[in-house]
Structure 1
Amino acid sequence: MQKYNIQQFPPSATKPNLLANPTPVESYDEFDFGWFRTPANPESIVMGFSHLRIKDGYKLRAYQYMEGGNGNGVVWAIPIDTDLPDPNECERLEEHFLSAPKPAFALDDFMQGIDGDKTPLSYLQASIAFHELHEFGAFWHGTSWGRDIILPLKDDQKSHYDLYEWEMIEDEPEIIEPHFYYDIEGNPVIVFHTINDIGNITLNRYVHTFSKNDYTAHVERTCIATAGGGIIF
């Protein structure tokens, strides 16, 4: 796939750069088991990035799933004049491993409710928001993305992660920094690499190919190297 006008970013650009003070959610459940409406507001993630915003007429709300110390969540973009219904009033997504509830009026993809200024940095921020929102409400065994360390490593990380002896599955990346380009079809693309130590230590490449029309994205994660056993929790 053709790449041109590549723009590189420091890892710090993947971090939120605004202090977010989200509006409290309107309705939530006082539960700590099964599926329930969480008081946590997923809009705080989007509001932490200066080049993103919630689309006019929409808001983000989430359901939380708890079982013991494990947690997962699901985020939906819904019309601003609606409330998140009780999960028992929703259809269930059979393809979701916990049969997550989906309101009838929710958009199919929460990224349809997110907009930005179309700059390269906005797409980098959107790629991080994508992962953070997909793992919103995750605890313990529900965590995956939360253990990803975006490369290149900071000085205070190198003493630990540089000890790994990598067995390469693919060639080492030409560009290790997070970067942006337009593909041959004109779609914005963000690529970054991470280390994740859950189960097996892996070096991973994430490729986010965004729509030309909005901030929905197709995301591919590829393991390009391994370094033995990691953590188990």
Structure 2
Amino acid sequence: MEFTAAATRPNIYLGPFYTYRDEDYGWTISRDNPEQVIQIFSQLSIRKGFKLRAYQYSAGGNGNSVVWAIPHERELPPPEECMYSDEQSMEHPKPDFACENVMHAVDGDYSPLSYLQAAIAYHELGEFGAMWHGCYWSAEDILPLDEYEYKEAESVKDYLYTLDDWSEFKTIPTSLRPAFFYKNDRPTIVFYTKNDIGMIKLSRYTHTFEKESYVQKVDCEDLAFAGLGIIF
């Protein structure tokens, strides 16, 4: 089953949910609620008995965070209570009661669209609270960028060359649209991206889900490069 790239975008508007910060705080408990990453997708929800909370790292205008799935009745302890080194470290603080996989706290209707949304939400949670050099996923453009131009192209290869001057392709996909299918009885999502950070590259993301779960294994394979991109 194929989707247009538009299906990968959030389809519920909740307004902005990031708080801009330029302080050098090191690790702190995030003021923002990562559950909104799930709530902006119509087919997903937070699993009963769980909630999502995050620690935020900020320094010199850069930022990263780590999101944990925790029991609904618990709260995150101060970061210094669950780290092996000082709070200025880039080591992620982790409470001993947090789930190993953040997607364990995500529920949904298990439709093909829900798996596509869960694949995107996985990356959005991974970059929750990211700033400046902490950003990477936000630069990924999911293909095809323009459905009309994609339909008009004579081939996938021809369409790709409208995006950039690629070097030799490792492989050329038969379709660039996001797709859902079962492989070895596991729900699977595949989509393609173009990213201009560092080296411009074409990549294939494969998300393989556990049965009746949004816990997933993610593989990213680079298929082609097109020279130097954005350096910051």
Q: TM-score range by the shorter chain?
A: 0.7 to 0.9
Q: 1:19 maps to which residue?
A: 13
* Aligned amino acid, residue 61 of structure 1: R
Structure 2 counterpart of 1:172, which letter? I
Q: Which amino acid aligns with 1:104?
A: D
What's the offset of the Cα at 1:204?
A: 0.4
1:72-131, CA deviations, whole angstroms, 9 ceiling, x for partnerless residues? Answer: 0100011111111100111459xxx92100011110111001011110000000000000
Distance across 2 between alignment mates of 1:91 and 1:102: 7
Which runs of no fewer than 5 residues in structure 2 stay unpaired?
Answer: 18-22, 151-160
Asked if the contact 2:110–2:212 (Cα under 8 Å) also holds between the matched residues in 1, the reply is no
2:57 matched to which residue of 1? 65
State the match for 1:223 in structure 2.
222
Counterpart-to-counterpart distance in 2, 1:35 and 1:178: 36
Question: Quick check: 1:22–1:41 contact (8 Å CA) kept in 2?
Answer: no
| Distance in 2 (alpha carbons) for counterparts of 1:224 and 1:192 | 12
Q: Per the alignment, do residues 174 and 78 of structure 1 end up closer, same or farther by CA in structure 2, a change over 3 Å counting?
A: same
Shift of the alpha carbon at 1:141? Answer: 0.7
In structure 1, the residue matched to 2:187 is 188
Q: What one-letter code is carried by the residue in structure 1 that aligns with 2:100?
A: D
What TM-score, normalized to structure 2? Answer: 0.87
Distance across 2 between alignment mates of 1:102 and 1:21: 29
Deviations 1:20-56 (A, max 9, x none): 3799xxxxxxx74211011111001100001100000
Which runs of structure 2 are paired with 1:154-169 in the superposition (5 Å)? Answer: 154=146, 162=162, 164-169=164-169
% same residue: 50
What is the aligned-residue RMSD (CA, Å)? Answer: 2.6
Secondary structure in structure 1 of the residue aligned to 2:115: helix
2:151 matched to 1:152?
Answer: no
Aligned with residue 116 of structure 1, among 97, 102, 108: 108
Q: Give the letter aligned to residue 103 of structure 1.
A: P
Does the aligned pair in 2 maintain the 1:60–1:75 contact within 8 Å? yes
Map 1:25-104; keep pairs closer than 5 Å.
Answer: 32-92=24-84, 98-104=90-96
- Cα deviation, residue 62, structure 1: 0.4
* Alpha-carbon distance in structure 2 between the residues aligned to 1:193 and 1:153: 10
TM-score of the aligned structures, taking structure 1 as reference length: 0.87
Q: Structure 1 pair 156/10, CA: closer, same or farther in 2 (3 Å)?
A: closer
State the aligned residue count: 218
Q: Secondary structure at the match of 1:167?
A: coil
Alpha-carbon distance between aligned partners in 2 of 1:35 and 1:68, rounded to the nearest angstrom: 13
What is the CA–CA distance in structure 2 between the aligned matches of 1:117 and 1:21, rounded to whole Å? 24
Q: For residues 164 and 22 of structure 1, what CA distance do their matches in structure 2 show?
A: 32
Q: Report SS of the residue matched to 2:205.
A: strand
